[in-house]
Amino acid sequence: MFRPWFSALAIALIGLGAAHAQATEVAGVKFDQQIQLNGAPLQLNGAGVRYKAIFKVYAAGLYLTRKAATPEAVMAATGPRRLNIVMLRDIDANELGKLFTRGMEQNASREDFVKSIPGTIKMGEIFAAKKKLASGESFQVDWVPGQGTYILVNGKPMAEPIKEPEFYTSLIKIWLGHHPADATLKDALLGKEKDRAANS
C-alpha cells in the first residue's frame, strides 16, 4: 500500500537529479545548460576559467542558440548571445576595462576597432563607475539582434545598448580572437576541451 508513495518519491528524486545535472560547474561556479534571453532559448556552448599566471581570475560561459565549434561559427550564429563572466577574485574594474580595451585592439581589424571606439568609451565608463568587481560578482555581455550589445553587472543593464555591431565583434574577440586572453579558455568556450579547473 506504500508503493505508490515510494514510486512518487523516486520519480521526484530522479527529476531533481536531472535538474541538478542541467548545470555545468567550473571552478565552483555553476552555469545553467539553458537560459532565456530576449525570449529566445540559449544553450551553454562551453565554459572555462581565465588564468593569469597560476591564479584564477574569472569563470566564463558562452551561450548561443545552437552549438558552435569555431569563432567564425559563433560570429555567424543567429539570435541572441550571452557571455557570462563570474569573478573568482577581487579585481579593479577600471583596470579590467583597460585590459579589455587592449584585448580588443589586439584582435580586431583597425577598421572595426575604430568603429567600436564610441562603445569602448562607454564600456570604460561603466567599469570606472563600478570601481571594483569582487569575487562572486558577475557581468554579462549580451548581443541582441536589432538592438546591440548590452553590458550588465550582476544581471543589471548598466547603460543603453551599444548599437555598433563592430563593438560586439571586437569585444568577443578578446576571448575568441587570434590573440585570446587565454587560449585554454578559448577552447573551453568553443566546447573543444574540458577546462583544467572544471573539477577544482
pLDDT in tens, 6-26: 444 444 444 444 444 488 999
In a domain, 14, yes or no: no
Supply the CATH number for residue 123's domain.
3.50.70.10
Asked if 65 contacts 41 with a C-beta cutoff of 8 angstroms, the reply is yes
Name the least confident of 34-38, 50-54, 116-120, 139-143. Answer: 50-54
| Alpha-carbon span 83 to 67, nearest angstrom | 14
In a domain, 64, yes or no: yes
Give the confidence band of 53 by pLDDT, cuts at 50, 70, 90. Answer: confident
In a domain, 184, yes or no: yes
In a domain, 175, yes or no: yes
**Count of structural domains within the chain:** 1
- Can you read off the three cell numbers belonging to residue 156? 543589471
In a domain, 141, yes or no: yes
- Can you read off the three cell numbers belonging to residue 14? 530522479
pTM of the model: 0.83
In a domain, 13, yes or no: no
In a domain, 16, yes or no: no
Closest by Cα among 13, 59, 72 to 188: 59
Domain of residue 129 covers 23-189
In a domain, 165, yes or no: yes
